[in-house]
Structure 1
Amino acid sequence: MTPAVQLLKRQKVPFELHTFSVGDSDEGYGLAAAKALGVPPEQVFKTLLVSFNGDPKALGVCILPVTHNLSLKRAAKAHGLKSAQMAEPAIAEKTTGYVVGGISPLGQKKALPTVVDQSAESMDTLFVSGGKRGLDIALAPADLLQLTRARFAPLCVTDDA
């Protein structure tokens, strides 16, 4: 049982665990996961760590649909900072306690400032990593926000960002 699942059980938050298998795919892991889960890809979210203002240890979490790319400009703005870069994988793994490709926003070793893309606000359920590849958790966006102390903000690349 991953720290993410332990947290959900401890907090008595309603959730569903979904296991799946994804082989090598040209469509990308997130899209392949959505297909394996049988859910719309815009309902499956990825967890990305960013560092801020050139400091590799000043970290934040961005949670967005697997169908979109992260706008670093929007990530920085959402966290109230000037600039953002993708975090170094080794630092992301050490800080969260998860392996890249299976980083869950839940149950991380260190609580980090977290923002969820605004597209999740209107959803009943979204899927996030359960803490390892092939394990996703379905839960209400409001519960995700509460457990991670997150807020909604625009995070995705658009034509103007």
Structure 2
Amino acid sequence: MSKNRDASGATPATVALLAAGVPFTPHAYAHDAGSTNFGAEAASELNLDPERVFKTLLADVDGSLVVAIVPVSGKLDLKALASAVGGRKAEMADPKLAERRTGYIVGGISPIGQKTKHATVLDETAELFDTIFVSGGKRGFDIELAPTDLLRVTDGIIAAIGRDS
């Protein structure tokens, strides 16, 4: 992997990665404006195993927003997420609130470079891969990086928070 020094495609995520000295590889693809399954679209367009492409979701756990990063091939286990952060109850966050708090639009929410820092949990299946793909901060743009680097730059933890669809 190499560091992308091209500022023309800069997003808050790439700016944060460059500032932290984290190696990553940018991957742009043609986003279909009619698509609503953004993670599956990324996996298909980039010709990747969907288990290696991760979606960024925001959940409300006992009144606090938490970032959950799970494979696009599965779903978020809300109970497991709540447990991972010491909470009791989790529900999906309102999409408009997620956009306001992260600074990104739905379908392009990156776990990196968010406007407001949130507790972050990465599904344990990420450890199966040397690198994974997450949103780069806009639709049609993913970032490839090592799971350990993603955890470091987000101050995240790893836990079993995903389940099969």
Query: Within 1, Cα distance between the matches of 2:20 and 2:91?
Result: 32
Which residue of structure 2 aligns with residue 16 of structure 1?
25
Out of 107, 124, 139, the residue aligned to residue 118 of structure 1 is: 124
- Identity within the alignment, %: 48
Task: Provide structure 2 residue ranges, at least 5 long, that are not aligned to the other structure.
Answer: 1-9
The one of 34, 45, 48 aligned to 1:36:
45
Runs of 4+ in 1 over 2 A off after TM superposition: 22-26
Kindly report which structure 2 residues correspond to 1:82-97, keeping only aligned pairs within 5 A, or say none.
82-97=88-103
Counterparts in 2 of 1:134 and 1:158: CA distance versus 1, 3 Å: closer
Aligned length: 155
Q: Identify which of 92, 98, 109 aligns with 1:103.
A: 109
The separation in 2 between residues aligned to 1:25 and 1:9, in whole angstroms, is 30
Separation in 1, partners of 2:47, 2:164: 26
CA RMSD of the aligned region, Å? Answer: 1.5
Provide TM-score, normalisation by structure 1: 0.91
Deviation at 1:22, TM superposition (A): 3.2
Aligned position for 1:156: 162
Aligned-pair CA distance for 1:158: 5.2
The one-letter amino acid of 1:37's match is L
Pairing of 1:119-138 with structure 2 (within 5 A) = 119-138=125-144
> Which residue is equivalent to 1:2?
11
CA distance in 2, matches of 1:31, 1:4: 21
For residues 108 and 74 of structure 2, what CA distance do their matches in structure 1 show?
A: 18
Task: Pick the aligned partner of 1:46 from 37, 44, 55.
Answer: 55
The aligned counterpart of 1:75 is 81
Q: Distance in 1 between matches of 2:112 and 2:150?
A: 8
Distance 1:93 1:22 in 2: 19
2: CA distance, partners of 1:137 / 1:103? 12
Between the aligned partners of 1:128 and 1:140, the Cα distance in structure 2 is: 10
TM-superposed CA distance for 1:89, in Å, is 1.0
CA distance in 2 between partners of 1:144 and 1:79 (Å)? 18
In structure 2, the partner of 1:62 is: 68
For residues 104-135 of structure 1, the C-alpha deviation after alignment (integer angstroms, 9 at most, x for no partner) is 00000111000000000121000000000000
